[in-house]
Amino acid sequence: MAFAYHLIRTDAIKLVTLYAGLFVLFYKLVQLLKHDIKLLTGLAFVFRAVFILAIPNLSQDFYRFIWDGRMILEGFNPYVYTPESFISNNILPIFQAQELYDGMGSLSAGHFTNYPPLNQLCFVIAGWFAGKSILGSVIVMRLLIIAADLGTLYFGKKILTKLNLPVHNIFWYILNPFIIIELTGNLHFEGVMIFFLVWSLYLLYNGKWQWAAVLFACSVSVKLIPFLFLPLLYNWFMSSRPLDYARGDNTDKNTFMLSGRAESRPNGFLKLIIFYMIVFAITLVSFLPFYNPQSLSNYTETVGLWFQNFEFNASFYYLFREIGYGISGYNQIAVIGKLMGLTVCCGVIALALFRKTNTLQKLVTSMLLALALYYFLSTTVHPWYIATLLCLSIFTNYKFPLAWSFTVILSYLAYTNANNTENLWIITFEYVVVIAVFLFDLKKTKAIEN
């Protein structure tokens, strides 16, 4: 495994060839074995087991995960202190502090943590069970991510069954080499966030919206991305949904059926407000153990950096950046980042107000489109970000996230040179393929809906 990682880091051609081969194998397996769910499930977790004892080589983030977890166990607030603030003063607050600091790199070490509380809990668990071993901590975190994938598989299959979609669709996510490498291999906790999100959608479909709100809040407390989906729930609670619930003869345009009984629109609005209140309350409570004015300021500042300071594997942003260079002669990321953020907000609100979400599939499709808009306009799109898009897509008719899970590996080619600079022609190829498939999906989906 270490040898395979070495090839990936040092030889761009072998990287693309190896991943392409894995992707073709994965595609063929799902197609050939789509009726043997047990075998596909076994293969998915066998492939994950290959990574159990491996130290990630494609990401440095796990060093910061371990640092944060051990800091909390030592009584330090990770939202208040940066690793750099300790090491620069020759203070080693935790075991293996210098090794963890060297591993995470200067960019991570120089900033406050941006990982929400439930994510921090995963780091604490790793520190609790393996506080003296980096490999031990990696194994604990990897087992948590694999457990989350098992949960996603379980609830994902249930949703697909209820939507009358092929159950094997779940393996476009679970068995995808991109997911196995980025989540299990590189220890990105998008998998845990996705588990809570899928579980929440399952409960929402079954009318258990209070518990769905609790699970939705857990998803937010792992990664903040699900906040983007909250406005989209407006039409879900306010629309007629005869396709998802028991049918009745007494429904009209002002009512919807929930568990066999008609509910008024005002009641739907009340439930929407309560849903929001539960999500925000649980999210806020999860932050309370870490709260002080300085930690709040540090956290919001760190999150803001992703919109105004960092850039990687972007699409439309790079086009606008070149226009900005032509006009002003310097990088306008601070201005462009804010404008793109505003555009995303307007786009999500438009989806919430004007796109019907009277079935779960339509709701998930709106989530997919909102998240796609966000990533198309982002300044930074790391490969593992695509995991959420890919998972949402299995409940819809859209295939572009699957194509993206293949082409996004090209972004790693930036790390094959000494300066870690991106080749914009390669980035262009990545997004030309993705956007072409996206446009085809739009045309195909429109034809189906009509």
Task: Write out pLDDT tens, residues 21-47.
Answer: 999 999 999 999 999 999 999 999 999
Mean pLDDT across the chain, nearest whole number? 88
The per-residue pLDDT for range 192-234, each reduced to its tens digit, is: 999 999 999 999 999 999 999 999 999 999 999 999 999 999 9
For helices 265-287 and 117-129, angle between their N-to-C axes, nearest 10 degrees:
40
Q: What pLDDT sits at residue 293?
A: 83
Using the structure block, give the residue that is written with the tokens 């998802």.
244
Burial bucket for residue 166 (CB in 10 Å: 0-12, 13-18, 19+): middle
Question: Could you tell me where the beta strands, DSSP code E, fall in 59-165?
Answer: none
- Long-range pairs, 102-110, Cβ under 8 A, ≥24: 103/60, 103/63, 103/134, 104/60, 104/61, 104/63, 104/64, 104/67, 105/60, 108/60, 108/61, 108/63, 108/64, 108/83, 109/64, 109/82, 109/83, 109/84, 110/82, 110/83, 110/84
Q: Which of 27, 111, 1 is nearest to 67 (CA)?
A: 111
- Rounded-to-integer distance, Cα 150 and Cα 147, Å: 5
Cβ(257)–Cβ(245) under 8 Å?
A: yes
Residue 139 has pLDDT above 80, yes or no: yes
Whether this model's pTM surpasses 0.85? yes
Q: Which of 314, 292, 305 is nearest to 110 (CA)?
A: 305
DSSP, collapsed to helix, strand or coil, labels residue 131 as coil
- Rounded-to-integer distance, Cα 230 and Cα 236, Å: 11
Residue 183 has pLDDT above 50, yes or no: yes
Count other Cβ atoms within 10 Å, centred on residue 293. Answer: 7
Structure letter (DSSP) for residue 400: H
Least confident of 117-131, 281-295, 414-428: 414-428
Domain ranges (residues) in the chain: 1-188, 209-291, 292-450
